[in-house]
Structure 1
Amino acid sequence: MQLDQLDRLIVDALLEDGRATFAQIGHRVGLSAPAVERHPEIVSALTVTGEADAILHILAADVRHFEQVVERIARERFMVRTKSELVMSPLLRREAQGIAAS
């Protein structure tokens, strides 16, 4: 994968402040906030290490609705590819309590 100038600017912004929000990074590099402002089904978006650039959590009514959302996201100009995984049922969900970041 080759980085273009915009990619380098985004990486530089993240190196300076790894906790910056999408909106902050977008402002710094001259872009609007990411497309998740246009997809109300996206309930969270996370940057990650590894092969993927981000993980999006989508809340959909059914599998067809999920497919439609993924198709809309895939048409975004910045998308290169998508990989989907469906959550069958949650095993554990807890809120962070008393955990301080160091």
Structure 2
Amino acid sequence: MSDDDSREQGVEFGEFEETMEGLDYPIEHDELLDEHGDDELELSGEPTTLAEVLDPVQDDAQTYESEEDLETMIMNMVGDDAVGREGYSDRGGSAESEAVDEERDDQESF
């Protein structure tokens, strides 16, 4: 498996990608953390554990029905932490600067 296969939206699943594929679903939140809480993921190049990512989940009855369900929860919990530099885009100007440019175009010069 290549690094690109285990990376999604700033989260590097690494070896945990294979672990997720091999889990016996459905799996309860507490069972998942007991067995795999120390497994590492990377967020923007920084290592973190699965337990750190899923710690805010307070629902004792949380059950992950599938690999997709677990991956979705992880992605929801990492939020902006995985994205990297906030507001950065390699596609040119930001939406704010584009709005300013449009405003300038609308103004007449004398």
Q: Under a length normalisation based on structure 1, what TM-score does the superposition of the two structures give?
A: 0.32
Larger Rg: 2
Q: Under a length normalisation based on structure 2, what TM-score does the superposition of the two structures give?
A: 0.30
Question: Comparing both structures, which one devotes a greater share of its residues to helix?
Answer: 2
